[in-house]
Structure formats: structure tokens, C-alpha cells
Amino acid sequence: MNYDFLIVGQGITGSIVALQLKKNLKKFKIIEDGNPNTSSKVAAGIVHPISLKRCNLSWRGREFYEFSDAFYKEINIESSIELYKSYKLLRIFASFEEQNNWIGKTNNEIYKNILKLNNKELNNLKNKFGSGVIELCSRLSVNKFLDFVSSSFLKSNELKKDLFKPDEIKLKNNRFHYKGNIYSKVIMCDGVNALKNPMFNYLPIIPNKGELLKVSSKILPQQIINCGIFSLPETKNIFTIGSTYSNEDQKNNITMDAKKYLIKKLNKIIEIDGIEIIDQKFGFRPTSLDRKPLIGEHPIIKNLFTVNGMGSKAILMAPMLVSELLNYIYQKKPLDSMVNINRFTKKIKDENIDYAKSLGL
């Protein structure tokens, strides 16, 4: 069977690639290994354009948000499910300095319709320094979104649950041959698994472990709260609390240290005596050395592409960056130099060159 694309990975990014290819009437196959500890499968799904630590608009934040907002709203219509919903995020200030910084930003035209001060009473919450509101905020129910994409493409035989094996792919007449099918192009959306793959393991991908708690509480409010960690209402009295960030812990298990950290942070804004921990999960985000995404074409193997390195911001960034990659492929529009993987071409290793030769180049 002949296809336009092979997509490797059906996390957030791979799903978005598939949806955009479908819209562009391209023929494709997705391969997904079903790993339960990917960042996509444990992601809370909170989307906004602000870097909260410094209260700054993220790089390309507003344009990413506006593009993604339209993209996910269209998926709501297509799926007939409310997978994506608007929220307001409440930021609990940790100091008067943060409060003053926030006030200054609310008077800046750049932050118009994004930031404001909160003047409402906050029952049960400790907020000595006050709070602010991010008005441009939404939440994607990530697992429901992934399930919708998976079920849609399984039905049409476009998705296969399988482990991708890079040593079994070959190039013949400038087309990729893999397990009985022929593909014009390959897009790797394999997150931290790229480190085990000689196609793109020269890229400086850094696995960043994140852990989350699921808790039961009758006192946490039914809105998204951020105080260095977040509290996200799932159903009545059930909340997701997260997240930790660790570049050092690479173990495939939950940790007591992460649990203590999240509870300690939560205790700064609420009395935790009435909170019951139900579950704890972990996943590994693919981040990059310079904290920018990794998008583009392999420097040696033509028509082999990657979309990776978005860390915790894949839900925000992926719709627009995938669109830009497809414009690069079909219309030769240049990629943003900040994300183009050609910035790391000098890091390519002998292993990657040998792999390219093994394909039949």
C-alpha cells in the first residue's frame, strides 16, 4: 500500500499532525507503541500564553494561543464532544513584588484582555499578597482528545498499535519502505523516544520528568488555580495537582519526594487536612537544550521530518508549528529559525551518518 506519510507517535503532536493531514486530504499511517508514561498521557491540558514565573508573554504566545484556540474549537465541532473548554486561571501571588509586577503588566497594551487583578473574595484560600487572573486560558481534556483521535483512525485502519523499529525501514527510489507499505515522507513525533532512535538522537532532547496527584477535596474551588503548582478541577470534589519538573530523575516510577513537594506547595494556599490523595502519575516531557521546539527535515535523509521538543507547551504550540512544517514541505515556506533543527546540524554523529547509509542512500 502507498501512503503520503508515516507518522510515528500518537501523542498530542502526532495526533495534531494526523488531523491536519486528514484536513489536507493526505493518505497516512500512524504507528503508536502505547507507552502509558508519555507526557501526553499525563498532561493536564492547561493552555495559556503567559510564562507565569516571570509574568511575561511567552515566545509567540498570543499567536500560538489564537491559532490553537481556533484549531481545538474545530475539533469540538468535529467530535461532537467538548474536548476543549475556556477557563480563567487564578494566580495566587507569592510576594508583593509579584503583585506589583502583575499590576504593571495589566496597564501594558501588550497584555490587554490577557491579565487582570482579581478583586473577588477567595474562600478557603490563603492569599496574603492577593491574586491575578489570566483571562486567555483554556483546557484540553488530553486523554479524551487522544482517545477521539485513536478511535477515529483505528476505524479507518490508519492507526496501528505497534513498536516502531528504525532498523526495518529502507529507502528505495526516494521512498520509504516499512513493513510492506511505501511512504513518500516520514514524520517522527516520538518525544523522548527519539533519544533511542538513530534518526534524530543527535538532537539535544532532555527528558523532563513531571509528576501529578489526583486528590479528593471539598474545599478546593472549582476553577484552575496556580501558585507555583496548579489545581485543576476534574469533576465535583476531584482535582489534578501538578506538576513537578526534574531533569535529573529518569526512573520509571512515582516518587515520595514529588508527592511531598506538591503537598507542601498546596499547603501554602489551602489547609490540606481535608485532602485525600487518590492517585499519582508521572510522564517524561521532551525539552530541548535551548528551550525551543525541534522542527524540521533531517540534514541527510530527505523527506524525513521531526516535530519534538515542546516540553509542557505542546498543546499550545503544536497546532501552529505543525501547520508551519506542512507549509515548509508543500509550499517551501521557511521554518522559524528558532525552531528549525538545522541549528543543531553540527551535532550529528557518526552513528547517524552510518544509519543514513544503512537505509540505502
273-293 per-position pLDDT tens digit: 878 999 999 999 999 999 999
Which pLDDT score, from 0 to 100, does residue 76 have?
97
| Distance, CA of 38 to chain centre | 10
Average of per-residue pLDDT across 129-139: 95
Topology (CATH) of 2-42+144-204+290-358: FAD/NAD(P)-binding domain (3.50.50)
> What mean pLDDT, rounded, does the chain reach?
94
Q: What is the pLDDT of residues 91-120, one digit of tens each?
A: 999 999 999 999 999 989 999 899 999 988
Selection from 109, 233, 129 nearest residue 118 by Cα: 129
Q: How far apart are the first and last CA of the chain?
A: 22
What pLDDT does residue 341 have? 98
DSSP characters over 242-288:
E---BSS---SS--HHHHHHHHHHHHTTS--TT-EEEEEEEEEEEEE
Q: For residue 53, name the pLDDT band (cuts at 50, 70, 90).
A: confident
CA–CA gap between residue 239 and residue 156 (Å, rounded):
35
Residue given cell 515522507 in the structure block:
185
Kindly state the cell numbers that stand for 333: 515556506
- State how far the Cα of 341 lies from the Cα of 309, in Å rounded to an integer: 10
Q: What is the pLDDT at residue 157?
A: 87
What integer is the mean pLDDT of 34-40? 77
pLDDT band at 63 (very low <50, low <70, confident <90, very high): very high
Q: pLDDT of 228-254, one tens digit each?
A: 999 999 988 999 999 999 999 989 999
What is the amino acid identity at position 50? I
Q: Which class in CATH covers the domain with range 206-288?
A: alpha beta
pLDDT for 42 beyond 90: no
Q: Where are the domains of the chain?
A: 2-42+144-204+290-358, 46-140, 206-288
Q: Which residues does 235 contact at the CB level (< 8 Å), separation at least 6?
A: none
Whether pLDDT at 39 is above 80: no
Q: What is the pLDDT of residues 170-213, one digit of tens each?
A: 999 999 999 999 999 999 999 999 999 999 999 999 999 999 99
The residue that leads in pLDDT, 48 or 123, is 48
For residue 168, what pLDDT is reported?
Answer: 95
Kindly state the cell numbers that stand for 154. Answer: 483505528
pLDDT bucket at 360, cuts 50 / 70 / 90? confident
Does 125 score more than 80 pLDDT? yes
Say what the pTM is. Answer: 0.95
pLDDT at 300: 96
| pLDDT surpassing 90 at residue 54 | no
Cell of 330: 508543500
Residue 335 has pLDDT above 80, yes or no: yes
Q: What is the pLDDT of residue 120?
A: 86
pLDDT (mean) for 343-354: 96
**DSSP state, residue 3:** E
